[in-house]
Structure 1
């Protein structure tokens, strides 16, 4: 019979991470340990990465919901793909259950517990890496310039820059400096985290366009769906939806309808925020059928969740860099020895 228990863990940032939405010194996450009392050698560890203040399921009773899920694990028939993945209506918990069930089906597990990987692929066998983008968090111009130089020196061909927390004129000047540092061959993605207003968004995109920006994530907040749709039709810079995709599994069809109405150029997929792996798969099918690009990004998971994301996205054989370089953000990340970041390449070496 299967059993499960959960624990909360506080991840500590190496620095105060600044976005237009918040300043973060730590992030709490949850781990679920799943094991069979008839087979003590089969313990898997999976992450339920609630994002406080952002996840659709962020509520005071979240831990009570984890209690219920862990009590129900004994009823799982994990050999059936859908049985346990539908056991929770919450994106982060469903992500954890999908990873755990898949890992058990694949025969993963050890006495000490291993991170649950939802697939077996060339990446999980150490045969190829997942290419990732570098990430430059917000800060003053000296700090961001230093971080940009570091990413360029580390060999990143695509670098994502957080914007929206400072005066726009100052940010524009800073971005010009960062473009000079990066050079013309480096691809720059921007992430505004909904910092612009509908009234100012187009003018700001026009001023950013000469910097040869690959894309900008979520220039407007999700509630401005109609304005986002209009912006996507006329934008000089391709727009990627991120926060607009945050949902519960039960609401994924509504989210798909929103995507089809807004028609962005890209989707940024965070499975633990957008309904779990199955819902992220649905969004990818929509994107590809509608000619939209996509990439996957971490929702600041620990190395446990990051390894699961790497395994999942590698199944798609991605051709553009993914946003899975957040493992070095923390001073106390969970050690997953197989997970290695080498420049712009994320490896899993079993």
Structure 2
């Protein structure tokens, strides 16, 4: 087997505002594993300051992989157990290598164009006028579930924005999800959640910073808005620790991002634990290119999907990679006829 990689810096069409700052570009690494005429492609996508890996750590690992490549996939996944984005890239590449096309990972109705996956629209933080423009665009495209980033601008302005939305769109017509990215302080989080509940909010992701399990448990128990844990899952790799987190905090939902939780294997374990403990979940991309987004979406298609997934990030970048993924309204589809358009030169 042979291994190669290239760095691919994704450029945002419009800067994306979050409570952690404004994103203008993000790093991604595309890897190739080949054997004869067969090859697989994987994407290692990180978010600096959030992913366990730094860019330097990723590049060090990618330089090192060739010496371990012939040990096989399972060895590599175990060897790089502290690098979830690298694990996901390895899974993707080996899956594509073993498939009859590098972009086919799971044989589900989705990849035969017999199923579509509903997704939410994403509204980045900004001034109220900019956010309203984004909302109007999503509504026009047919989205009925919108996720809004909160916690970076003045709280009253955010409430005014939500109030304006609710004057125009009833909760039966438009579902609102919020994502605080841990921006609230434990001492005033409940007050803010009570205020936000006036706007018929479906859920809020990670209201306070991760690592505060006792405070999070209190919020999950008392919040008028269902809470979804997101960043809280990062860095937790053992099954018992995952079980303990869910049992101790009792969230209403968890958000599963394969690039941050150890690829498909890590994601499957989180799903299994959550479902046994009657906690619901949905999958979300972590700003991957369409290579990673394709892998996440196909994985999601193997599950029983009963709500919109967070997979609408494919249109954010000016230099994304063409894959058979497409959007029709608020539904993600896969056109197998486009597989023949994909070549190695498309992305490497």
- Calculate the TM-score normalised by the size of structure 1: 0.91
Aligned to 1:22: 21
User: Distance between the aligned counterparts of 1:7 and 1:108, measured in 2?
Assistant: 23
Counterpart selection for 1:344 from 318, 321, 330 = 330
**1:119 lines up with 2:127 in the alignment:** no
Per-residue CA deviation, residues 38-91 of structure 1 (Å, 9 max, x unaligned), is: x22x12211011222111122633211111123322332x5xxx4553342210
The structure whose residues are more often helix, as a share, is 2
* 1:57 equivalent among 48, 53, 59: 53
**Two-structure CA RMSD over aligned residues (Å):** 1.6
Separation in structure 1 between the aligned mates of residue 120 and residue 250 of structure 2, nearest angstrom:
24
* Structure 1 residues 334 and 71: CA distance shift in structure 2, 3 A: farther
- Hey, what's the Cα distance between the residues in 2 that align with 1:108 and 1:125? 14
Q: Any conservation in 2 of the 1:4–1:32 contact (CA below 8 Å)?
A: yes
Which residue is equivalent to 1:197? Answer: 185
1:215 corresponds to which of 203, 208, 212: 203
Report the Cα distance in structure 1 between the residues aligned to 2:133 and 2:282, rounded to whole angstroms: 26
Match of 2:122 in 1: 135
Q: CA deviation at 1:248?
A: 5.8
Alignment of 1:84-95 (within 5 A): 84-89=76-81, 90-95=83-88
Would the alpha carbon gap of residues 33 and 264 (structure 1) be closer, same or farther in structure 2, given more than 3 Å must change?
same
Stretch deviating more after TM superposition (190-199 or 42-51):
42-51
Alignment partner of 1:320: what SS?
A: coil
Q: Residue 3 of structure 1 contacts residue 71 of structure 1 at CA under 8 Å; is this kept in 2? A: no
1-structure distance, mates of 2:208, 2:96: 38
Shift of 1:231: 0.7
Q: Secondary structure at the match of 1:160?
A: strand
Change (3 A) 1:5 1:334: same
1:135/1:161 contact within 8 Å kept:
yes
- Normalised TM-score (structure 2): 0.92
Aligned pairs, how many? 334
Match of 2:67 in 1: 71
1:274 is matched with which residue? 261
In the TM superposition, residue 252 of structure 1 has moved relative to its aligned partner by 5.0
Counterpart check, 1:103 vs 2:96: yes
Contact 2:11 2:318 in 1 (8 A): yes
Q: Which runs of 5+ in 2 are unaligned?
A: 337-348
CA distance in 2, matches of 1:322, 1:170: 27
Which of 208, 222, 228 is the aligned partner of 1:240?
228
The alignment partner of 2:77 has SS state of coil
